[in-house]
Amino acid sequence: MIQKKTFIHPTSIVEKGAIVHEGTHIGPFCYIGSQVEIGSGTELKSHIVINGITKIGKNNIIYQFCSIGEVNQDLKYKGECTRVEIGDSNLIRESVSIHRGTEQGEGATCVGNHNLLMFNTHVAHDCLIGHHCILANSTTLGGHVEIHDHAVIGGLSAVHQFCKVGSYAMLAGCSAVVKHIPPFILAQGNHASLVGPNTVGLKRHFSEAKYKAILKAYQLLYKQGKSLEDAKLELAKLAELYPVVILLLNFLNQIDLNSDKNRGIVR
């Protein structure tokens, strides 16, 4: 179904069954598969392949040579009906690849709203990207990676499968992540290790009172020699006074230390 007031360049192919909403712009030499839905106001520049069960929201801009919704690179995948879901107002730059999920994961690879995925970023199967994230040039995410809201991943960095990067965390360029990076943290290196709190980002997003509360939480987790479980007890008390700390506490509570997929946290 192609609604009115939609531009499709004559060199592009939109398969029967695809849903293209009003105000969508599809530039030259694009291929849109039969199970794809593209929201209103989304623009495809040129030479873009969108395939599989893929739903793209409103007002996204997708640049040339992107591949979205194609078969993933997990050898266990045998053609199951998995999908890609992309929200609204994302900027997806040249040569980005976003692969469909697997049944072993959640069945979907999901990208939220207002994200910037720079040139040559790869989002593997079953990844979950939140809102307002920045993935710089040539970022590589392994399968089942989670990038939480407002996180920033530096260019040429790689995140190991099943790792999580917390909200408002920042990973410096050319880093390799093999452990979870908690919220509010700046990490760097191969393998990525703690640098300190993400001071610049935190001051940009939070009031002075919230910023100071986050620094207290950082001290509890990293500077007082506490075990992770003891630190979580103290963070719970701090979160009662400063709700912003709940972001960090919830992140730590999500980590199953007994799971064979547990990576541990950067400490």
In CATH, what number is assigned to the domain containing residue 64? Answer: 2.160.10.10
Checking if the pLDDT of 260 tops 60, the result is no
| HSE (side-chain half, CA atoms, 13 Å) at 187 | 31
Measured CA to CA, the distance from residue 145 to residue 217 in angstroms comes to: 25
| 45-58 confidence digits (pLDDT tens) | 999 999 999 999 99
Are 126 and 206 part of one and the same domain? Answer: no
Task: Give the residue numbers spanning the domain of 24.
Answer: 7-144
Q: Phi and psi at residue 199, in whole multiples of 5°?
A: -55, -50
Provide the mean pLDDT of the chain.
Answer: 95
Residues composing the chain: 267
pLDDT for the residue 257: 61
- Position 110 in a domain: yes
- From 98, 114, 144, the end of a domain falls on 144
pLDDT for the residue 53: 98
Q: pTM of this prediction? A: 0.96
pLDDT for the residue 5: 82
- What percent of the chain shows pLDDT beyond 70? 96
pLDDT for the residue 218: 97
Number of domains in the chain: 2
Mean pLDDT for 171-186 is 97
More confident residue, 8 or 4: 8
Are 13 and 130 part of one and the same domain? Answer: yes
Are 238 and 125 part of one and the same domain? Answer: no
Checking if the pLDDT of 196 tops 90, the result is yes
> Which band of pLDDT confidence, cut at 50, 70 and 90, is reported for residue 66?
very high
pLDDT for the residue 30: 98
> Which band of pLDDT confidence, cut at 50, 70 and 90, is reported for residue 263?
confident
Q: Phi and psi at residue 166, in whole multiples of 5°?
A: -75, 170
What residues are annotated to the active site?
125-126, 143
- Position 108 in a domain: yes
Closest of 110, 228, 214 to residue 169, by C-alpha: 214
